[in-house]
Amino acid sequence: MSHPRQVVGWAAWFAVLGDPSRLMLLVLIARDGPISVSDLAAASGLKATTVSHSLRLLRVHDMVRTARDGHTVLYRSAPHPVTDLLDRVLTPAGPAHEDAAPR
């Protein structure tokens, strides 16, 4: 079995991903990034404050990175096991069928 601290870290990742809004933001960033808070809010239907709060948590867990473009902060996927997994799921060869029921 893995080291207990490593398992605790994985549990924290899954807790972050357990919120559908945060998972949706990660998918949008993986698909459309780099992207701003206002564009993420428009694409997700979430309030900008909710998006900002979620992005702050995703940054704490090193799942997203930021870059400035003038006054705008843009978010992009960071190299991370979770974002690597999302990339695999979102590729055409992956199980990205919206009508597929989870098992």
Is it the case that residue 103 has pLDDT exceeding 50? Answer: no
Q: What is the CATH number of the domain that holds 53?
A: 1.10.10.10
Higher pLDDT pick, 86 / 94: 86
Integer Cα distance of 25 and 40 in angstroms: 7
97, part of any domain: no
Residue 10 above 90 pLDDT? no
Per cent of the chain over pLDDT 90 is 50
Give the rounded distance of the alpha carbon of 21 from its chain centre.
9
The reply to whether 1 falls in a domain is no
pLDDT in tens, 48-61: 999 999 999 999 99
> Cα–Cα distance between 72 and 48 in angstroms, integer?
14
6 assigned to some structural domain: no
Does 4 map to a domain?
no
- How many Å apart are CA 30 and CA 74, to the nearest integer? 12
Residue 5 in any domain: the answer is no
CA 60 to chain CA centroid, nearest Å:
12
Residue 78 lies in a domain: yes
48 within a domain of the structure (yes/no):
yes
5 confidence band (pLDDT: 50, 70, 90): confident
What's this model's pTM, rounded to 2 decimal places? 0.77
Burial class (CB in 10 A: 0-12, 13-18, 19+), 75: buried
103 within a domain of the structure (yes/no): no
Mean pLDDT of 54-82: 92
Mean pLDDT of the residues in the chain = 86
Range of the domain at 72: 17-82
For residue 74, is pLDDT > 90?
yes
pLDDT at residue 83, rounded to an integer:
78
Residue 79, pLDDT score: 84
Q: How many domains does the chain have?
A: 1
What does the alpha-carbon distance between residue 67 and residue 69 come to, in Å, rounded to a whole number?
7
**SS3 (DSSP) at 5:** helix
- The answer for residues whose C-beta is within 8 angstroms of residue 102's C-beta and 6 or more apart is none
